[in-house]
């Protein structure tokens, strides 16, 4: 089980391969990767603020909860903070299980909780100014199903 909160970029593919290799015998690997998206071509960049200390605690709690609910042989969370450019990878999660349904459910659970319960805040910088990304009601609602 690995949690990394870092300013520097990570290599999604290399992390996915390393995770799959170390989860020998798992059978089913699921990964999620979030990319800085530029919906209308005006995004210049993004700044991610976080709460050092609480971030790691929150991610550990979320991951422990996922492990208690599903049969996982391994899990990985990497989340960046600081300045990011459009197209850069913000974060990834990976889950490994003998059963694909567990790997999928756990990865989606980790994402849902990470979105609304881990202390990260995104600020977008566009051609016309900058502003904090507002939390989506759909993200809060997504927690209710678990």
Partner 1 sequence: MTLTILYFAWLRERIGLPRETVQTEAATVADLVDELRAREERYAFTFADLKAVRVALDQELTDFDAPLAGVREVAFFPPMTGG
Rounded Cα distance, 13 and 26, in Å: 18
Q: Which residues pair with 82 in a beta bridge?
A: 48
Give Cβ neighbours of residue 61 (< 8 Å, ≥ 6 apart): none
Rounded Cα distance, 102 and 124, in Å: 34
Nearer to a copy of itself, 24 or 57 (CB): 24
End-to-end Cα distance, the chain? 21
Give Cβ neighbours of residue 101 (< 8 Å, ≥ 6 apart): none
Compose the 111-130 pattern: x for residues touching partner 1 by CB under 8 A, - for all others.
x--xxxxxxxxxx-------
> Does residue 101 touch partner 1 according to CB under 8 A?
no
Compose the 87-126 pattern: x for residues touching a copy of itself by CB under 8 A, - for all others.
x-x--------x-xx-xx--xx--x---------------
Q: Of 2-10, 17-25, 44-52, 53-61, which segment contacts a copy of itself by CB under 8 A? A: 17-25
Q: Of 7-15, 18-26, 51-59, 66-74, which segment contacts partner 1 by CB under 8 A? A: 51-59
Nearer to partner 1, 58 or 72 (CB): 58
Give Cβ neighbours of residue 99 (< 8 Å, ≥ 6 apart): 27, 28, 71
Which residues make up the interface to a copy of itself (CB under 8 A)?
11-18, 20-21, 23-35, 37-39, 87, 89, 98, 100-101, 103-104, 107-108, 111, 142
């Amino acid at each position: 089980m690995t949690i990394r909160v870092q300013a520097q970029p990570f290599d999604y593919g290399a992390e996915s391969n390393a995770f799959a290799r170390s989860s020998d015998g798992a059978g089913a690997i699921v990964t999620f990767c979030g990319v800085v998206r530029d919906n209308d071509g005006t995004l210049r960049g993004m700044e991610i603020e976080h709460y050092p200390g609480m971030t790691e605690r929150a991610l550990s709690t979320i991951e422990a909860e996922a492990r208690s609910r599903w049969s996982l042989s391994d899990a990985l969370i990497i989340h960046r903070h600081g300045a990011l450019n459009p197209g850069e990878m913000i974060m990834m999660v990976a889950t490994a299980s003998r059963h694909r349904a567990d790997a999928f459910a756990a990865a989606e659970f980790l994402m849902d909780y990470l979105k609304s319960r881990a202390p990260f805040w995104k600020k977008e910088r566009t051609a016309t100014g900058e502003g904090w990304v507002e939390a989506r009601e759909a993200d809060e609602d997504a927690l209710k199903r678990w």
